A = this chain, B = another copy of it.
């Protein structure tokens, strides 16, 4: 995707962007790819609150359905919308629904009980919530700063996503082996272990973090390779929960995948 002819795209999209966005070159260049917000070639100020909610909901749903091209920041126009969503009931209801659907699916499975029935979990925004960090960093409106984020990770104070914690315990009780597969670095193993335990996740089969040789890989590539290693080791990946499509897509895939909501950031 890095070979995209950006100048041509810029020309193409210029007719789709409202002038207030176009004039903000800093915001524009912060996008990996320009994302038209489809504001129908009129001024943002002409939209009332309901219309902006509709547009931002549409943007959020497109992200959840994996329809959006790669993006680096949320649309400026949707900052208040995202703030409201992640701090409000909508996010909690969505998280609970995904967990409930996962439980319903899991209960319908016949586990073989040989210790090879696996459920894979991502960690950030899947088991642990970094919302306290993102509250201080614009809910995804600021370009991701890995140095700042690693300082936050080192605190090991990210709370559990409650719906996921309950799902996690239910899956353990059903007999699933849990494998944690995260984009975090091997250097963050100790703080990640500490944070998971203090947040209530007490037991897992393996915690896989990025080794040195994994650091240059796309998340989807790294995670697919790790899933392939699980199959090679005789595991059956029956469920996979993640907040990014790069947690879920790629060969091999889990029998069922569950996409947790995340309107704040995108990882390829």
- Excluding A61-B94, A61-B261, 11 further A-B contacts by CB distance (< 8 Å) are A33-B108, A36-B104, A38-B93, A54-B90, A54-B93, A58-B90, A61-B61, A62-B98, A66-B257, A67-B101, A69-B104
Given contacts A89-B54, A93-B58, A251-B251, contact A33 B100 (CB under 8 A): no
A225 located at the interface, meaning its Cβ lies under 8 Å from any Cβ of chain B in the complex: no
Contacts of A55 in B (CB 8 A): 93
Nearest 6 CB-CB pairs, A to B?
Answer: A64-B65, A4-B108, A65-B259, A58-B93, A58-B94, A62-B97
* A120 smallest CB distance to B (angstroms): 16
Chain A 88-109 interface 0/1 with B at a Cβ cutoff of 8 Å (1 = within): 0110011011101100110110
A89 to chain B, nearest CB (A): 6
Q: Does A258 contact B (CB under 8 A)?
A: yes
Min CB–CB distance A54 → chain B (angstroms): 6
Binding site for B on A (CB under 8 A): 1, 3-5, 8-9, 12-13, 16, 33-36, 38, 54-55, 57-62, 64-69, 89-90, 93-94, 96-98, 100-101, 104-105, 107-108, 110, 249, 251, 253, 257-259, 261
Chain B residues lying within 8 Å of A61, measured Cβ to Cβ, are 60-61, 64, 94, 261
| Other-chain contact of A1, B57, B108, B257 (Cβ < 8 Å) | B108
Interface centre among A1, A55, A97 (most CB of B within 10 A): A97
